[in-house]
Amino acid sequence: FPASSSQCDWTKNKFGHGVFVGKVGRYAEAALSSARLRSRNDPDQGIDLSVGGFAGIVCRLCSDGGVYEAFVRTEAFERLGVEYVCEFKTSSKTPTSGNENRSRDKFSTVRLEFKDFLPRMRPQFQTKEDEEDSREALGKSGNIPKFVGKDIRQLGFRFRGESNPLSCNAGFCRFYLALDFIEVYRGQPEPEFI
């Protein structure tokens, strides 16, 4: 997309939280991702959260009520262009008249289970030749393995204009996502009832 069709920034607000903010064209997207995440034991490998019994990621954030995507990239992204994506909706509030704070932004906590991260091949990797290479690398079935929390090499967030038609005005969709924290949580077995 031309530089004029989207503008986004990763900055810090007055509370010290990271803020992903900007505007994109109605059919454009903006994304930010972490620098490469590395295993302490083997820096050539990604982080493995499955061994600790972790079941997902929990994020405390302040946003505008838009729909966002969290994505995880593993070795499969580097080799095949496959990333794992989990879409989530944020909360917003209705500004009240007479109140100094007219912001629609609202804090919420979002739980993103590993099982809800679905594989998606990024468009820049979907040439006919790349698709054939991907099928061959994935095996005869062409099945992409499910994401279970292993080999996390990058973590990121994405805003898509087409997923947020209500935030669009004059051909641009505005977004605001402030991250208070990102943590992992453990899966718990079902409680026993006697």
Question: What pLDDT sits at residue 140?
Answer: 47
Q: What predicted TM-score, i.e. pTM, was given to this entire model?
A: 0.80
Reported as half-sphere exposure (CB side, CA atoms, 13 A), residue 80 has a value of 23
**In this predicted model, which residue has the larger pLDDT, 24 or 96?**
24
**In this predicted model, which residue has the larger pLDDT, 59 or 99?**
59
Specify whether the CB–CB gap between 118 and 85 falls below 8 A.
Answer: yes
Helix, strand, coil percent content, the chain, rounded in steps of 5:
20, 45, 40
**In this predicted model, which residue has the larger pLDDT, 142 or 12?**
12
pLDDT digits (tens, 9 = 90+) for 61-103: 999 899 999 999 998 888 888 999 999 999 887 766 665 656 6
Q: What average pLDDT does this structure show over 102-110? A: 82
Question: What pLDDT sits at residue 92?
Answer: 83
Burial class of 41 by CB neighbour count within 10 A (0 to 12, 13 to 18, 19+): exposed
Q: Does pLDDT of 141 surpass 80?
A: no
Phi then psi dihedrals of residue 35, to 5 deg = -65, 170
Q: What percent of the chain has pLDDT over 90?
A: 43
In what helix (H) or strand (E) does residue 92 lie, and over which residues does it extend? none
